[in-house]
Amino acid sequence: MDKRVPLIFEQTVSGRRGTTFPSSGISVSDAKNLIPEQFLRTGGDEVSLSSFRKEPALLAEVSEPDVVRHYTRLSQLNFSADTHFYPLGSCTMKHNPKINEKISSLPGFTHAHPYQPDEQIQGTLEFLWQLEKMLCELTGMDAFSLHPAAGAQGELVGLLCCRNYFDFLGEKRSTVIVPDSAHGTNPASAALAGYSVIPVPSNKRGRIDKDALRKSLNKDVALVMITCPNTLGLFEDEIQEIAEIVHACGALLYMDGANFNALVALAEPAKLGFDMMHLNLHKTFSVPHGGGGPGAGPVGVRKNLEKFLPDSRIVKEGEKFRTVPESSQSIGQVRSFFGNTGALLRAYAYILSLGHDGLKSVSENAILNANYLLKNLKGNFKPYVDEPCMHECVLSASESAKDGIKTLDIVKRLLDYGFYAPTIYFPLIVPEAMMIEPTETESKKTLDAFTEAMRAILQESKQSPETVKLAPHTTPVRRLDEVTAARNPILRWKRHG
Ligand SMILES: *Cc1c(COP(=O)(O)O)cnc(C)c1O
């Protein structure tokens, strides 16, 4: 049976409408004097919506109930953190407390317009200012810019600040060092900022190879970008020594803190030796994300880098808050207005509702849950490094791949068991990788059920491999051609005939 839900366009019935408009009462001849010719469509006596188009709009012709049912049905087909265990490593799909939604939908915030004068949006400016101070306190950094709309944009901002910093010093440095256990956006951002990228390998313990780092460092290196915890879910336990080596050659040390949920209220990156960093508020501080939705990737820096941060910062003067216009050394504006204030507000509500001690137990429980899963599963799947992990663990299905059941097969089968798949084939240095991040809010019961499902799938792989190889069996579609979907997406519906 084809369980595929038809596209909304396939539900079209010619002439069917969800809304009808009253007649405009403006004649076409009058409209011609008001509206440029190229926007007018000929035909008819009275102006209607269709008078302004040469061709009918490419819209589905459906009723309001058709639309409501279609999208409600689609939403129910979705796996989400609100409906399923969602252990997507590195992406941190954690529970988003509903209080955040309530606070972020208060009309004083949602109805504010970014062009309103500062006096009229004091509440918005105040929470942004306070959020910046909280992030400084949690990371030990001296200043934050809340502008970047995502982690990757935060990286770019950090790199541009680094560029301006060395320009200011009058030093020419053109390379950035990125370990092979870094997130893939790091080398991409460095290249986008005009740097050439030098990779550094990991050692047997999955940490940066210090000797290789030493060899790669020279006066041409501007920045060393370290994902911490790294993409193996491991803490760089020699980070202070690494910081000394990097600083000794005049370079800066950047922390990709997208996954700060393993460290928040436990370690301050500035004390570990980092000069700048970004946070993914939409991971660490529970802002719903995914599907390219709005995020927030604030960038924090030490005092000596503050003047390079993006323009339009917020300052407090007495009891009033004010935006400061351009500064000459800033990298400029990177995003309109103040950043994604809706996402920032959710993170603010999250931090306030938990407080310092609450955030500490978030990290502790995230780490505990990941280690519990690692311990449960390491007899079945090989860990890349057999050491305690941080908030996520990386296992390999290379053993079962030898028998023809690959990681992809296993995680597709997981969908039938009612679990979203972990991140797979990442980090790249691990063959048949599965990167599992349970997050702090999951109960032992859920983690045990997940463990059972993973073990059951391994059993099936031996007893009835076809069941696993043809999975999933319960979803509307089975295995999609993701490569064609990415390379050749059909983004426009073509009307037939
Ligand atoms: C998610 C992630 C990023 C990228 O963040 P986006 O908001 O998706 O741009 C960068 N680094 C690490 C370690 C991440 O987990």
| 22 confidence band (pLDDT: 50, 70, 90) | confident
Per-residue model confidence (pLDDT) at position 79? 87
Q: Is the pLDDT of residue 105 over 60?
A: yes
Candidate from 180, 236, 280 with most ligand 1 atoms within 8 A of CB, to mutate: 280
Q: Is the separation of the CB atoms in 156 and 193 below 8 Å?
A: yes
Residue 185 Cα to ligand 1 midpoint, Å, equals 7
Q: Give this prediction's pTM.
A: 0.90
User: Phi first, then psi: what are they for 308, rounded to 5°?
Assistant: -95, -10
Q: What is the pLDDT of residues 64-85, one digit of tens each?
A: 999 999 999 998 888 889 999 9
Q: What is the pLDDT of residues 388-435, one digit of tens each?
A: 999 999 999 999 999 999 999 999 999 999 999 999 999 999 999 999
Residue 302 Cα to ligand 1 midpoint, Å, equals 22
Residue 294 Cα to ligand 1 midpoint, Å, equals 13
Give the C-alpha separation, 96 to 349, whole Å: 11
Per-residue model confidence (pLDDT) at position 198? 98
Residue 68 Cα to ligand 1 midpoint, Å, equals 33
Candidate from 185, 192, 226, 287 with most ligand 1 atoms within 8 A of CB, to mutate: 185
Catalogue all structural domains in the chain, each as residue range(s) with its CATH number. Answer: 8-77 (no CATH), 99-353 (3.40.640.10), 363-485 (3.90.1150.10)
For the chain, state the CA radius of gyration: 26
Q: Which single residue is written with the structure tokens 């939403």?
A: 75
Give the C-alpha separation, 144 to 266, whole Å: 19
| 497 confidence band (pLDDT: 50, 70, 90) | very low
> Which residues have CB under 6 Å of ligand 1?
90-91, 150-152, 183, 185, 227, 256, 258-259, 280, 295, 297
Q: Which atom of ligand 1 is nearest to the CA of 153?
A: 9
**Overall average pLDDT of the 367-396 stretch:** 97
Give the C-alpha separation, 357 to 222, whole Å: 37
| 41 confidence band (pLDDT: 50, 70, 90) | low
Amino acid at 310: P
Across-strand partners of 221?
A: 175
Closest C-alpha to ligand 1, atom 5: 151
The whole-chain average pLDDT of the chain stands at 93
CB under 8 Å to 170, separation ≥6 — which residues?
Answer: none
